């Protein structure tokens, strides 16, 4: 055999031999090892002996003397070594056929878990976990979960939350399971101020940009309208936000319309947020745990609306004991109960609220002679939430909401015994019902100390329905009639979504996820029947133009603490909308930056794109239950906005006072409005998009907030200077005009004062310049008949309407005050709340119309105001 042949054979044998040697083990090789109080070195020797795994290390670098107890059974090698070495900061790597052990340069430890109330087990959202040594920290997410990677030698962490005694979290080496940190509530009295360190507080403020966080206590501290505390009214008191009509309810954020707000209740979108035509919001404050409000710098995880995000979290329910609250006021009575179904495992919270119909009718209904014989107006809502802990890593939340407003009217005609008895009996009944149904199922899973996931599936429906029945029965003939009619509209959302939160280092909180939303639109269906005439009605159903749109979304964002001074939240929200064979796509960059300067000054910048695939058809100057949700179409494209904002903020040394100034500029494309009058019950019809004008919106302005955050006297002054306009090619001769919610100046003063241990006073005063108003600019004679020999009832006087919104209503201002007396009994706490809405009875303009007085031969503009001074009293107990 030649030398060459021998060499080739040797090479071949080597090539065969090396893989055979190398394939003796790999990372997936399953191993079992069980020792008690043995050194790490012993474990290495066992593995070498049993599995042929060679370890290479230097005793000067790696310390293998610690004694451990290990019980590993049939685990993949890599996972097993990770379990064995990670607690000792020993790094392992495969080089050739051996495993080389080295010491980690900067050993770290990731602590994860939940922060919760000591007594109730309620998860605390936004609690701060802070390392005083490293001066770094993090906060809990919406589920009370945190993940914090700290140096290995960290022995304890500080945990704080407003209204709770600070706690310390002892850090155990090698702790990999989620920990539960419990904090004890302070005496719930506001004068007891939490002694949070300045650094920890700064951390809390820094973490989230442009977010307003409201607790139930914040909401309840505000003066009440007719005895009802209201979340939305608290948000409306912020700069940059205004209510739609007097009384609140509507939410107009930075020149946006009410349909441009994404309101989430435990992650489920709510389409109609008010009861009683906008006077109260649908959220019962007794079970609201936390609400977050964004008007700019929208994080990438939110999408689908242009102007604001209101993310409301409900209480989870007490895991230890039963508690409850009940209250009765002038308008509504309500009750709430929470408690464990199984201690430390399953809890529930259930609440219900209902207005007292009879009393409301006496107070509000204008029972004039022309009106119905009987009218009832009432609303109710109910919430149920169940929370179950499967394990330290898995939790399930199931919640449901139902809320309705009802208006019933009946007329009786031809009643016996009247002075002018009719020749027939007529019975007419009309009912109007509108509201929301929602259901939510959420599953939290902790994949690892650094990775948290939440899977949400939910259903939300808003509907409006009206029915009438008319029975006609003549006395002298058999010509009876039984009319029945129904009209309804609805929108439904079915959502499936998964969200991940990954915290690899304290400097990064990475969130990513995706979802699918099925929107089902039903913009108006009517149905008529007449059982009396013996022939079918002209049509049975009308305008059943239901359609389905699919929204698909993906997002990713990183909350990145670039340096001690610089914090950024950068992300992208991508979405697609499929409807009627068309597809729309949108990639929306989101950026928020905060730079801290010495002496607690900070600069904030943000730039965001938002896309909204849904439109709201509104046939009135204000939001009404009859408004119709419709999808984007070939003619009406999705709404799109760009918003940039810049601001500075400053807090005083002990965080007693805070000040912020912010300016913004926002553009909105493809906004719509009806181009001519449309009846509120006619439905959208199949060609609604031909009846609307499509245009652009623009808003810009500045906001100032001065806040006192501590002490027995607290409150804020918010001022907004803003402009908002719309431009439609076919409206107002194509010229821009002020948007209907454009307010030049808006000043809000909110004050709460603690008096002793039992009294708390609060007051809000609001001043706004007038809203835009379109006025007639000429009057002229009308005509009703072809021939002058057909005498009209009177000469009609018609008005020519001038430029859109060229004038302003008079300015508006109002003071609301409230006083609450609380007294703690042995087992329960009682409280009385006395409120005055519109305390000095200011007659603010609400509505304008022309009055024609033919007797005096005069015409003038009349101003209507509603809601005069309204006193109220509420009695509540809490146990």
Partner 1 sequence: MRPYSLYAILLIIVMAACEKESRIDIPYDGDKVVLNSLIQPDSLMYIRVTKSKPVKESGNLRFPELAGAVVTLQEDGTTLPAPRWTVINGKGYYVSQGVAKVGARYTVNVSYTGLASVVAVDSTPARPAIQNAFAQKTSNRVRFSLKDNAAEKNYYRIRVYNADTVNGVIVPLKQDTVKFRLDPSYNNNFIDIIGNAYYSEVLLTDERINGKDVLFVLQTSKEITASHMIVEVSGLTRGAFKYLDGTYSQRLEDRLDFSIDPVNIFSNVENGYGIVAGVNAGRLSFSVE
Q: Among residue numbers 842 through 871, which ones bind partner 1 (CB under 8 A)?
A: 843, 845-852, 854, 856-868
Q: Work out whether 433 is an interface residue with partner 1 (CB under 8 A).
A: no
Distance CA(186)–CA(165), nearest Å, equals 6
Distance CA(238)–CA(719), nearest Å, equals 8
Q: Map the footprint of partner 1 across residues 559-588, applying CB under 8 A.
A: none
Nearest distance in Å: CB 389, partner 1: 46
How far does the chain reach from its first CA to its final CA, in angstroms? 99
Name the nearest CA neighbour of 296 among 521, 604, 723, 544: 604
Q: Work out whether 377 is an interface residue with partner 1 (CB under 8 A).
A: yes
**Of 230-238, 314-322, 434-442, 526-534, which segment contacts partner 1 by CB under 8 A?**
526-534
Distance CA(713)–CA(656), nearest Å, equals 11
Whichever of 426 and 514 has its CB closer to partner 1, that residue is 426
Nearest distance in Å: CB 810, partner 1: 7
Q: Work out whether 425 is an interface residue with partner 1 (CB under 8 A).
A: no
Distance CA(270)–CA(275), nearest Å, equals 13
Among 59, 794, 825, 826, binds partner 1 (CB under 8 A): 794
Nearest distance in Å: CB 455, partner 1: 42
Per-residue x/- track, 469-508, partner 1 (CB under 8 A): -x-x-x-xx-x-x-x-x-x---------------------
Per-residue x/- track, 241-280, partner 1 (CB under 8 A): -----------------------------------xx---
CB neighbour list of residue 245: distance below 8 Å, 6 or more residues apart: 277, 278, 622, 846
Map tokens 């939290």 to a residue.
444
Q: Work out whether 804 is an interface residue with partner 1 (CB under 8 A).
A: yes
Q: Work out whether 622 is an interface residue with partner 1 (CB under 8 A).
A: yes
Pairing relationship of beta strands 211-215 and 566-579 according to DSSP bridges: unpaired
Whichever of 468 and 767 has its CB closer to partner 1, that residue is 468
Q: Work out whether 371 is an interface residue with partner 1 (CB under 8 A).
A: yes
**Of 15-23, 62-70, 390-398, 621-629, which segment contacts partner 1 by CB under 8 A?**
621-629
Whichever of 69 and 787 has its CB closer to partner 1, that residue is 787
Nearest distance in Å: CB 625, partner 1: 10
Q: Work out whether 761 is an interface residue with partner 1 (CB under 8 A).
A: no
**Of 207-215, 236-244, 369-377, 592-600, which segment contacts partner 1 by CB under 8 A?**
369-377
Whichever of 108 and 675 has its CB closer to partner 1, that residue is 675
Among 34, 58, 391, 810, binds partner 1 (CB under 8 A): 810
Q: DSSP per residue over 195-217, as a string?
A: ---HHHHHHHHHHSTTEEEEEHH
Nearest distance in Å: CB 239, partner 1: 27
Whichever of 119 and 680 has its CB closer to partner 1, that residue is 680
**Torsion angle in degrees (nearest 10) through CA of 35, 39, 40, 43:** -40
Distance CA(274)–CA(282), nearest Å, equals 5
Distance CA(253)–CA(240), nearest Å, equals 6
Based on its alpha-carbon atoms, the radius of gyration of the chain, rounded to whole angstroms, reads 33
| Contact between 150 and 131 (Cβ < 8 Å) | yes
Token duo for residue 870:
């309204």
Q: Map the footprint of partner 1 across residues 195-234, applying CB under 8 A.
A: none
Nearest distance in Å: CB 827, partner 1: 41
Q: Work out whether 539 is an interface residue with partner 1 (CB under 8 A).
A: yes
Helix or strand run (H / E) with residue 364: helix 357-364
| Contact between 27 and 77 (Cβ < 8 Å) | yes
Q: Work out whether 729 is an interface residue with partner 1 (CB under 8 A).
A: no
**Of 111-119, 489-497, 655-663, 676-684, which segment contacts partner 1 by CB under 8 A?**
676-684
Nearest distance in Å: CB 244, partner 1: 12
Distance CA(298)–CA(303), nearest Å, equals 8
Number of residues that bind partner 1 (CB under 8 A): 110
**If DSSP states are collapsed to H, E and C, what string results for 81-109?**
HHHHHHHHCEEEEEECCEEEEEECCCCEE
Helix or strand run (H / E) with residue 46: helix 40-51
CB neighbour list of residue 267: distance below 8 Å, 6 or more residues apart: 311, 440, 442, 456, 458, 497
Among 19, 581, 756, 791, binds partner 1 (CB under 8 A): 791
Q: Map the footprint of partner 1 across residues 387-416, applying CB under 8 A.
A: 407, 409, 411
Nearest distance in Å: CB 721, partner 1: 23
In DSSP terms, 95 is beta-bridged to: 98
**Of 44-52, 157-165, 605-613, 838-846, which segment contacts partner 1 by CB under 8 A?**
838-846
Nearest distance in Å: CB 251, partner 1: 19
Nearest distance in Å: CB 747, partner 1: 22
Q: Work out whether 528 is an interface residue with partner 1 (CB under 8 A).
A: yes
Whichever of 617 and 763 has its CB closer to partner 1, that residue is 617
Among 790, 825, 826, 827, binds partner 1 (CB under 8 A): 790
Whichever of 65 and 476 has its CB closer to partner 1, that residue is 476
Name the nearest CA neighbour of 680 among 847, 526, 468, 484: 526
Distance CA(143)–CA(127), nearest Å, equals 11
Nearest distance in Å: CB 228, partner 1: 17
Nearest distance in Å: CB 250, partner 1: 13
Map tokens 């149905």 to a residue.
527
Among 182, 753, 809, 842, binds partner 1 (CB under 8 A): 809
CB neighbour list of residue 395: distance below 8 Å, 6 or more residues apart: 143, 387, 388, 389, 443, 444
- E strand intervals along 613-727: 614-617, 628-631, 639-651, 657-674, 692-708, 713-727
Among 37, 369, 419, 785, binds partner 1 (CB under 8 A): 785
Among 5, 170, 538, 827, binds partner 1 (CB under 8 A): 538
Q: Work out whether 423 is an interface residue with partner 1 (CB under 8 A).
A: yes
Mutual orientation of helices 77-85 and 40-51 as an angle, nearest 10°? 170
Q: Map the footprint of partner 1 across residues 40-79, applying CB under 8 A.
A: none
Whichever of 364 and 601 has its CB closer to partner 1, that residue is 364
Within 10 A of 95 (CB to CB), how many other CB atoms are there? 8
Nearest distance in Å: CB 803, partner 1: 9
Q: Map the footprint of partner 1 across residues 308-367, applying CB under 8 A.
A: 364-366
User: What CA–CA distances, in Å, run from 541 to 171, 484, 490, 693, 856?
Assistant: 67, 12, 16, 28, 49
Q: Work out whether 619 is an interface residue with partner 1 (CB under 8 A).
A: yes
Within 10 A of 69 (CB to CB), how many other CB atoms are there? 9
Q: Work out whether 372 is an interface residue with partner 1 (CB under 8 A).
A: yes
In DSSP terms, 164 is beta-bridged to: 185
Among 15, 106, 781, 825, binds partner 1 (CB under 8 A): 781
Within 10 A of 135 (CB to CB), how many other CB atoms are there? 12
Map tokens 């965001």 to a residue.
608
**Of 302-310, 343-351, 790-798, 815-823, which segment contacts partner 1 by CB under 8 A?**
790-798
Among 98, 186, 376, 430, binds partner 1 (CB under 8 A): 430
Name the nearest CA neighbour of 540 among 531, 527, 551, 523: 527
Distance CA(820)–CA(189), nearest Å, equals 13
In DSSP terms, 341 is beta-bridged to: none
In DSSP terms, 292 is beta-bridged to: 213, 311
Nearest distance in Å: CB 843, partner 1: 6
**Of 98-106, 500-508, 512-520, 796-804, which segment contacts partner 1 by CB under 8 A?**
796-804
């Amino acid at each position: 055999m030649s030398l060459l042949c021998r060499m080739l054979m040797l090479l071949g044998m080597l090539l065969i031999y090396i893989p055979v040697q190398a394939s003796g083990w790999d990372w997936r090789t399953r191993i079992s090892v069980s020792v008690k109080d043995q050194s790490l070195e012993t474990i290495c020797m066992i593995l070498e002996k049993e599995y042929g795994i060679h370890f290479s290390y230097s005793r000067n670098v790696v310390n293998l003397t610690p004694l451990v107890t290990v019980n590993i059974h049939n685990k993949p090698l890599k996972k097993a070594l990770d379990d064995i070495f990670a607690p000792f900061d020993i790094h392992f790597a495969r080089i050739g056929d051996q495993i080389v052990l080295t010491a980690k340069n900067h050993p770290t430890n990731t602590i994860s878990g939940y922060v919760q109330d000591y007594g109730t087990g309620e998860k605390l959202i936004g609690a701060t976990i802070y390392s005083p040594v490293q001066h770094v920290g993090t906060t809990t997410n919406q589920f009370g979960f945190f993940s914090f990677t700290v140096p290995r030698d960290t022995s304890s962490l500080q945990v704080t939350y407003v209204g709770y005694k600070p706690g310390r979290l002892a850090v155990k080496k090698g702790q990999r399971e989620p920990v539960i940190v419990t904090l004890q509530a302070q005496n719930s009295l506001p004068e007891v101020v939490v002694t949070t360190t300045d650094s920890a507080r700064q951390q809390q403020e820094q973490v989230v940009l442009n977010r307003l966080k409201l607790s139930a206590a914040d909401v309840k501290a505000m003066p009440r309208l007719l005895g009802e505390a209201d979340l939305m009214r608290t948000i409306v008191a912020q700069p940059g936000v205004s209510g739609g009509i007097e009384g609140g309810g509507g939410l107009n954020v930075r020149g946006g319309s009410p349909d441009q707000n994404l309101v989430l209740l435990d992650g489920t979108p709510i389409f109609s947020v008010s009861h009683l035509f906008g006077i109260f919001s649908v959220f019962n404050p007794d079970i609201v745990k936390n609400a977050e409000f964004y008007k700019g710098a929208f994080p990438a995880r939110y999408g689908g609306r242009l102007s604001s995000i209101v993310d409301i979290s409900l209480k989870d329910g007490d895991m230890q004991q039963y508690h409850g609250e009940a209250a009765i006021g002038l308008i509504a009575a309500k009750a709430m109960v929470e408690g464990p179904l199984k201690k430390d495992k399953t809890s529930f919270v259930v609440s219900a609220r209902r207005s007292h119909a009879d009393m409301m009718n006496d107070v509000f209904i204008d029972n004039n002679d022309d009106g119905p014989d009987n009218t009832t107006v009432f609303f109710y809502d109910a919430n149920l939430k169940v929370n179950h802990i499967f394990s330290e890593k898995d939790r399930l939340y199931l919640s449901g909401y139902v809320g309705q407003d009802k208006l019933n009217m009946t007329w009786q005609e031809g009643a016996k015994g009247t002075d002018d008895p009719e020749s027939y009996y007529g019975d007419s009944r009309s009912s109007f019902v509108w509201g929301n149904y929602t259901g939510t199922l959420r599953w939290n899973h902790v994949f690892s100390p650094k990775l948290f996931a939440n899977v949400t599936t939910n259903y939300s429906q808003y509907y409006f329905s009206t029915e009438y029945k008319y029975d006609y029965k003549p006395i002298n003939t058999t010509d009876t009639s039984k009319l029945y009619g129904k009209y309804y509209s609805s929108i439904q959302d079915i959502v499936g979504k998964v969200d991940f939160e990954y915290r690899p280092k304290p400097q990064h909180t990475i969130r990513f996820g995706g979802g699918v939303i099925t929107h089902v639109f039903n913009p108006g269906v009517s149905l008529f029947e007449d059982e009396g005439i013996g022939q079918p009605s002209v049509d049975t159903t009308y305008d059943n133009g239901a359609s389905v749109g699919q929204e698909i979304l993906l997002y990713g964002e990183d909350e990145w603490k670039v340096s001690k001074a610089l914090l950024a939240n950068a992300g992208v929200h991508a979405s697609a909308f499929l409807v009627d064979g068309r597809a729309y796509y949108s990639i929306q960059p989101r950026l928020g930056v905060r730079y801290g300067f010495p002496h607690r000054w900070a600069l904030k910048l943000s730039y965001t794109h938002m896309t909204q695939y849904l439109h709201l058809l509104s046939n009135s100057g204000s939001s009404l239950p009859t408004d119709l949700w419709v999808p984007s179409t070939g003619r009406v494209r999705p709404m799109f906005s760009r918003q940039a904002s810049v601001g500075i903020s400053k807090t005083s040394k002990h965080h007693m006072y805070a000040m912020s100034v912010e300016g913004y500029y926002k553009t909105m494309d493809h906004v719509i409005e009806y181009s001519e009058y449309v009846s509120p019950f006619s439905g959208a019809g199949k060609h609604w998009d031909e009846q609307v004008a499509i245009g652009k919106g623009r808003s810009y302005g500045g906001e100032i907030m001065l806040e006192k955050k501590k002490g027995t006297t607290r409150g804020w002054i918010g001022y907004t200077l803003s402009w908002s306009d719309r431009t439609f090619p076919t409206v107002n001769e194509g010229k821009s005009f002020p948007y209907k919610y454009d307010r030049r100046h808006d000043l809000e003063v909110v004050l709460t004062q603690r008096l002793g241990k039992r009294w708390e006073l609060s007051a809000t005063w609001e001043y706004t310049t007038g809203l835009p108003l379109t006025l007639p600019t000429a009057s002229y004679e009308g005509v009703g008949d072809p021939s002058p020999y057909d005498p009209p009832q009177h000469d009609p006087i018609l008005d020519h309407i001038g430029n859109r919104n060229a004038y302003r209503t008079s300015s508006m201002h109002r003071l609301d005050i409230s006083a609450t007396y609380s007294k703690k009994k042995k087992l329960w706490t009682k409280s009385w709340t006395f409120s005055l809405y519109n305390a000095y009875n200011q007659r603010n303009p609400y509505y304008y119309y022309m009055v024609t007085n033919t007797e005096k031969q005069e015409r003038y503009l009349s101003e209507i105001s509603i809601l005069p001074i309204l006193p109220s009293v509420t009695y509540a107990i809490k146990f």
